[in-house]
Amino acid sequence: MTPERFSKLLLMSLAVPTLLVFVMASVVAFEVGQLRDALGWVDHTDTVIAETRAELRRIVDAETGLRGFLVTGREEFLESQRESSGTAARFAKLEAMVADNPPQRQRLDEIRGKFENWIGYSKQMVQLREGAGNYSDFELNMTGKRMMDEIRAGFATVIDVEQALRDTRLERATHIDKDFKISLAGLSLLLATTLVLFSRYQLRNLALQYGSALKTAEEKAAEERERKQWFLTLLRSVGDAVIATNANGRITFMNPAAEAATGWSEAAAKQQRLESVFRTVKADTRERLENPVDRVRRLNAVAGPLDHRLLIRRDESEIHVDDCGAPIRDDDGKIIGFILIFRDVTRQYELERTLRTSEKLALAGRITASVAHEIHNPLDTVGNLLHMILIDGGSEHIAEYAELATQQLQRVHQVTLSMLNLYRESHAPVTVKLAEVVNSALALLEMQVRSKEAQVTCRFTEGSSVEGFPGELRQVFTNLIHNALDAIPQGGTIAIDCMSGGTQKQVNITITDNGCGIAEQDIPRLFQPLFTTKGESGTGLGLWVSKGIVEKHGGTIDVETKNTPGESWTRFHVVLPRQFPSLVSTAQALAN
């Protein structure tokens, strides 16, 4: 049987009984509505009678209180009379309750008028009693009695009419209730008979179709279990570590690679918060990093690592990791969980660190000869001056010789200080004046500048400073200026320009040379490790390391070049933000 046929059969099995029940319910609802209305009118009549009797009692209490006051003269007996001040509102309520019965409303209106007359009479009697008047006059008292008798008679008529109306309405409700029970019994019998016959027919068909559908469902369930098992086996077999969580960030799955990387077993980690198992800090500052689940939830998309992470394993040992998080969605697009994939990159990190160290050593080797020459010449001059001082003895030229020697020693101090600053590094970002960094690099490369007879021009706008690590930035500009010196011909030019960006939140530095340019096919590979155009004299690490340092500082580095007959040049363009990037600013950049 097709799913459409099965659905239609199932729909009929539900629709027909539902329709019959609906018809019966409609009839029952109609009958119940009539019965409820009839009983409602009975209750309404009871309420009218009760309110009428209560008002009569209040009026009688007022009369009794008046007589007590006339006899005793005590004010306490007038309390019930004072309470009668709300009688007008209560009469209005009673009249509203019998609005459907104009004669009753007219009777209540007449009673109210009589009671208002009696109120005037009672005030007259109170004044006579207080003023020592003839309040015990027989005719005067009989007048009050007749007024009150008329009020009682009026209330009695209203109550009798309401009582008769209640009996009529109760009788009608009784008839409706009897008819309701008879119709309910008949409808129930009809419904039961119809349902039994129809259900027997439909259930027989459903049983046959359900058996067929159940067999099909079991086959699909077996396929789904097999597919799920295959998927779990695949996840457990992959080399990368995989952790899955529910929508609340609690772990539901870990593969063996994740167990090995974190030091947690899957059984121990289940239902733990992800940040309790995957604890990461920044490798340089030890700052606790954002939970990957929170980052994915905030970005509502796949999110890669924000910083160079260290994973703190369960035994407190540490490894370098590279991770990526993603949301798990259901068919409606709702997030029902998260998946985190990461890998141990400790060996890769150590290799990159070794390569960077090798580049630093290579850079040190390239400038060692220049530094040795720069130090040797001043020291040789100082030696000659000291020799001349010893020969001349008390000559008048001693002061001049000493001044020249001091200048040469200051030159040695400047060169050695620049050499030391090349690798001296702070533990946290500091304010770096780019002019000082570039001039320090030029001091180290002065020998190459003179040997090439190069013309180097520098232009720095005021306030050209950024937050960063001065030793690393000095290494970047030393590499770029050294490459420019290698590229230019004898007597070539190098222009270094540093200026603020358009938003004043960044600094742009360009290093332009009039060298031979770069071949077009080499540009895509220029910043790759171990790629060099200098043959055996190059390490292929300088630009790769420089790019990594610039990106660490939140900046960018790119190159422009031209190599045509009659015109050739190369310009490296470095953009650095004034503020060293934090975790929050990097996350915002990724989100945007």
pLDDT of amino acid 386: 66
The 10s digit of each residue's pLDDT in 401-446 is: 676 667 656 656 555 555 555 555 556 788 988 888 888 888 878 8
Q: pLDDT tens, 471-485?
A: 788 888 988 998 898
| Cα gap 521→527, rounded to integer Å | 13
Q: What CATH number does residue 442 fall under?
A: 3.30.565.10
Q: Is the pLDDT of residue 388 over 70?
A: no
Q: Are residues 572 and 469 in the same domain?
A: yes
Would you state the pLDDT for residue 508? Answer: 92
- Residue where a domain stops, chosen among 344, 372, 407: 344
For the segment 388-396, the average pLDDT, to the nearest whole number, is: 61
In this prediction, residue 399 carries a pLDDT of: 67
Residue 288: partners with Cβ closer than 8 Å, 6 or more residues away: 279, 280, 281
Specify whether 208 is located in the same domain as 255.
no
- Mean pLDDT over the full length of the chain: 79
* Domain annotation covers residue 220: no
**Stronger pLDDT, 269 or 352, i.e. the higher one:** 269
Per-residue pLDDT at 198 exceeds 70:
yes
Which of 326, 344, 362 is the endpoint of a domain?
Answer: 344
Query: Looking at residue 585, what is its pLDDT?
Result: 42
How large is the average pLDDT for residues 292-296? 80
At 55-114, the pLDDT tens digits run 888 888 888 888 888 888 788 787 766 665 677 788 888 888 888 889 988 988 898 888
Task: Evaluate whether residue 529 is within a structural domain.
Answer: yes
Residue-wise pLDDT for 547-562, tens only, equals: 888 988 889 999 999 8
6, pLDDT greater than 70: no
Tell me: do 339 and 480 sit in the same domain: no
Residue 590 banded pLDDT, cuts 50, 70, 90? very low
Which pair of tokens denotes residue 272? 């733990």
3-state secondary structure 366-409: HHHHHHHHHHHHHHHHHHHHHHHHHHHCCCCCHHHHHHHHHHHH
Q: Write out pLDDT tens, residues 136-192.
A: 888 888 888 888 899 889 889 989 998 988 899 888 888 888 887 888 888 788 878
Q: CA-to-CA distance for 389 and 383, rounded, in angstroms?
A: 10
| Res. 36: pLDDT tops 80 | yes
Buried b (16+ CB within 10 A) or exposed e, 327-365: beeeeeeeeebbbbbbbbbeeebeebeebbeebbeebee
Tell me, what amino acid is at 294?
Answer: D
Whether residue 427 is found in the same domain as residue 302: no
Check residue 559 and give its pLDDT: 92
In a domain, 407, yes or no: yes
CATH of residue 318: 3.30.450.20
374 and 498 share one domain? yes
pLDDT at 374 over 60: no
Are 360 and 303 members of one domain? no
251 inside domain: yes
- Burial of 59 from C-beta contacts in 10 A (0-12 / 13-18 / 19+): buried
Residue 300 pLDDT more than 70? yes
Same-domain status, 330 and 364: no
User: Are residues 340 and 360 both part of a single domain?
Assistant: no
Q: Which residue has the higher pLDDT, 302 or 4?
A: 302
* 3-72 vs 102-130: helix crossing angle, rounded to 10: 30
* Range among 211-215, 395-399, 434-438 with highest mean pLDDT value: 434-438
CA atoms within 13 A on the CB side of 162: 29
What stretches of 236-353 adopt beta strand conformation (E)? 241-246, 251-254, 279-282, 309-312, 318-329, 335-344
Query: CB count, 10 Å around CB of 130?
Result: 12
> d(Cα 391, Cα 524) in Å, to the nearest integer?
64
Work out the pLDDT band at 377, boundaries 50, 70, 90. low
CA distance 266 to 255: 7
Contacts of 344 (CB under 8 A, 6+ apart): 241, 261, 319, 320, 321
Domain boundary, last residue among 344, 376, 395: 344
Predicted pLDDT at 282? 80
Domain ranges, residue 360 = 352-591
Residue 100 forms part of a structural domain = yes
Model confidence at 277: pLDDT above 70: yes
Please, what's the b/e burial string for 147-161 (b: 16 or more CB within 10 A of its CB; e: otherwise)? bbebbeebbeebbeb
pLDDT tens digits, residue range 225-266? 777 777 677 777 777 888 889 988 899 888 888 888 899 998
Terminal Cα distance for the chain, rounded? 53
> In this structure, are residues 322 and 342 in contact, taking their beta carbons and an 8 Å threshold?
yes
Q: What integer pLDDT is reported at residue 384 of this predicted model?
A: 61
Indicate if 545 and 574 belong to the same structural domain: yes
Looking at the fold, whether 525 and 396 belong to one and the same domain comes out as yes
Cβ proximity of 481 and 454 under 8 Å: no
In one-letter notation, the amino acid at residue 87 is T
Do 199 and 245 have their domain in common? Answer: no
Residue 227, domain member (yes or no): no
Read off the pLDDT band of 458 (50, 70, 90).
Answer: very high
Is 54 in the same domain as 141?
A: yes
Task: Say how far apart CA 296 and CA 338 lie, in whole Å.
Answer: 8
In a domain, 535, yes or no: yes
Count of domains in the chain?
3
Residue type for position 497: D
In b/e form, how buried is each residue of 271-286, taking b as 16+ CB within 10 angstroms? ebebbebbbbbbeeee
Residue 232 included in any domain = no
Confidence category of residue 565, pLDDT binned at 50, 70, 90: confident
d(CA 84, CA 534): 116
Q: Which residues contact 349 (CB under 8 A, 6 or more apart)?
A: 308, 320
Say which residue the tokens 């290093």 belong to: 511
Instruction: Determine what percent of the chain is predicted with pLDDT higher than 90.
Output: 9
